[in-house]
Structure 1
Amino acid sequence: MINGISPFQVQSAQAGTNVTSQIHNKPTGSENQVSFSNVLKDSINALNQSQNESDKLTNALALGQDVNLDEVMIASQKASVTLTAATEFRNKAVEAYQEIMRMQM
């Protein structure tokens, strides 16, 4: 079973969306239902955005542009943590799938 928070909640919270509330809130008649594929797609986009931001700041620093070193390091660490969490989330999902496939019918 997958435990803990989603690895993408940090990035989606920064992007202004709350994945947890999207999953747990039950839509009423006029609201659109959020599918798992949409949540996954948004999470991957947030991961990609953090990686791109880190790359942009790192390249700006390497080119000698006026960039705060603290911002570069923070963006780099956020991207690293998010990627590590996404990898762990993927590993847990694969493990869960493999466990389901081993079940007796």
Structure 2
Amino acid sequence: MNFQVELTSEVSDFILSLPVKFQAKIQRTINLLCEFGYSLPEPHSKKIKSAHKIYELRIKLGSDICRLFYFHWKGTIYVITSGYIKKTDKLDKREIEKAEKIKLLFED
């Protein structure tokens, strides 16, 4: 089954601000999400334990780690809400909260 992935304008701008090699690796990971959807395994995707039905795409290039947050919207559609370059081992709670707020906007 093929899934559709939508990007918010914020995450599109974020991805375009990254180096071309990182953009290419992100696109490959998004393509995996389109192909496998909710069954995309680690290390590519992981559920955020502290968030309600929010997942992260995990992309690594060299020592840089990019996190893109997403959720299942409806049918075969996933929405990638936001992203950031991870500097520490812990996830940024503000980024998770931002993803949850965007998810609520889609659900209304």
TM-score by length of 1: 0.31
Higher helix share: 1
Greater strand content: 2
TM-score (norm 2): 0.30
Identify which of structures 1 and 2 has the higher relative contact order when contacts are C-alpha pairs closer than 8 Å and 6+ apart.
1
Which of these two proteins has the greater Rg computed from alpha carbons? 1
